[in-house]
Chain A
Amino acid sequence: MNRFQQFLAVILSVSLLNATILVPVAHAGMVTTQEVATVIATGQAESGQARLAAALARDEVRAEMERQGVDPAMAIERIAALTDEEAARLADQIDTAPAGGIIGAILLVFFVLLLTDILGLTKVFPFTRSVR
């Protein structure tokens, strides 16, 4: 690729990025409620950089959701339901954040959990009744 083509490629991809990701501005010039909250909380306006970072976080989460077995069309919908802050948090923690779903305790810890259940510290097994 010569220099001109490279330059063209960069310009095109940046403008595409702008067109696809940075679109959701409801009405030109209106300050959104989220922006008001940000200004009041931080004393600063939202930067374009922050908006771009949020857009990239969304893309990352979407890819990760698909990898984790979410239907691609549903993943897009789920991403749309997230705020920028939530998307950024998920991008960081999708693999580590608590996922409520009870995964059966492995045998090694079975007896410990049984004991702690009886002591009323945990509640893993439906059949236990705490002593106190």
Chain B
Amino acid sequence: MRSTADQPARGRRWFSTAIALLAALLLSGCATQSTRLQDARPEGLPVRSELVDTPFFPDDSHFCGPAALATSLSAVGLATTPEALIGRVFLPGREGSLQVEMLAGARRQGAVATRIPGTLEALMRETAAGNPVVVLQNLGLSWAPSWHYAVVVGYDLDTGEMLLRSGPVKRETISLRTFEHTWNRSERWAFVALPPGRLPVTASESEAARALVQFERNAPAAKAAEAYRGGLARWPANAVLAMGLGNSLHASGDLAGAEAVFRHTAETHGLAAAYNNQALVLLELGRHAEARRAAERGLKVAGPLRQTLLETLGTIEKAAATD
């Protein structure tokens, strides 16, 4: 092997190429959050926290999506199994589960699925508040991806570790730095699934509103109303949440409750949609004169909903005429 003179030189070249590659890999992404977190610990965040009672559904095939979802749902009282979820979130042709379907699948099981901010601190605050978090990791590299869903159940700032229910491992301890690398590659995607009425502590107002509107789409009306009430308790001034509550109450048959919510929303926000829906509920209640007044006030602020309010006014007039 070492008989020719140029071999050591080639060997050295290979070695330097390897070093260069390694350097490129090392510099390609930095785990900045984990360093910062350990240097300066955020206020009010416990040093460690672990949701030890979180159930575990081991998986060493392609079903980490159903397993992670079952883990997170069962942990918050919406008991289910990965087997029951495979048909709902697994895509055989892709040998995996898509993010959109993970969220939709959680909703189908009666949970409000809310995206949370992509920070390690948010993951920690959620687990400290008792909420396991479903995360998408790319355990491999951007050009050789190994997409994987796991559930964050805790952390330890002293040892610098994240604690996960992950694939076949019940209690995976992974360094914050490595976790951050794998999570960065999924653009730090994470969500918390909770029963209606509860919301993740770190959720932004807009993400929470989005999750609640999505939940209303397929949920029983009474559950949707409960979910919106939970949102309004935190963001009482949010017009979308108020409209959602009104619509859900209406769909559940509580006309008086819906009317009160729409009236209040119309008055506080001057919202054409609220006047419109209030008018139609008043019409259902047989209060024609009030219905017309509401529709007329709505028409003044209608903007893009002008056509809708004109139609509502027409409906009210027709009903009044046949009386």
Contact = CB atoms under 8 A, between A and B. Distances in A.
A77 B88 contact: yes
B314 to A, nearest CB: 9
B108 interface: yes
B201 interface: no
Nearest to A32: B247
Interface string A16-42: 000000000011111111111101100
A80 interface: yes
Most buried by B among A80, A100, A119, A122: A100
Interface in A47-83: 65, 67-71, 74, 77-78, 80-83
Most buried by B among A36, A99, A112, A119: A36
Interface residues of A, number: 58
B119 interface: no
A1 B210 CA distance: 49
Contacts of A37: 209-210, 213, 240
A96 to B, nearest CB: 10
A26 B277 CA distance: 12
A126 B144 contact: no
Contacts of A68: 91-94
**Majority secondary structure of chain A interface residues (helix, strand, loop or mixed):** loop
Contact of B280 (A30, A77, A82): A30
Interface string B246-268: 01001100000000000000000
B273 interface: yes
Nearest to B176: A120
Interface string B20-55: 001001100100000000000000000000000000
Interface string B85-119: 00110111111111111111101100000000000
A97 B98 contact: yes
A58 B247 CA distance: 25
Interface stretch (B8-16, B70-78, B177-185, B191-199): B177-185
Contacts of A86: 100, 103-104, 214
A45 to B, nearest CB: 4
Given A36-B239, A101-B97, A109-B144, A43 B304 contact: yes
Nearest to B186: A98
B216 interface: yes
Contacts of A44: 304
Most buried by B among A32, A99, A130: A99
B305 interface: yes
A36 B318 CA distance: 26
List the 3 shortest-distance A-B pairs measured between CB atoms, nearest first: A68-B93, A101-B96, A99-B96
16 contacts: A26-B251, A29-B276, A29-B312, A30-B250, A30-B276, A32-B247, A33-B247, A36-B239, A68-B92, A81-B218, A83-B214, A100-B96, A102-B96, A105-B146, A120-B178, A121-B141
Interface of B: 22, 25-26, 29, 62-65, 68, 87-88, 90-105, 107-108, 136-141, 144-149, 167-169, 174-175, 177-179, 181-182, 186, 209-210, 213-214, 216-218, 239-240, 243-244, 247, 250-251, 271, 273, 276-277, 280, 303-305, 307-308, 311-312, 315
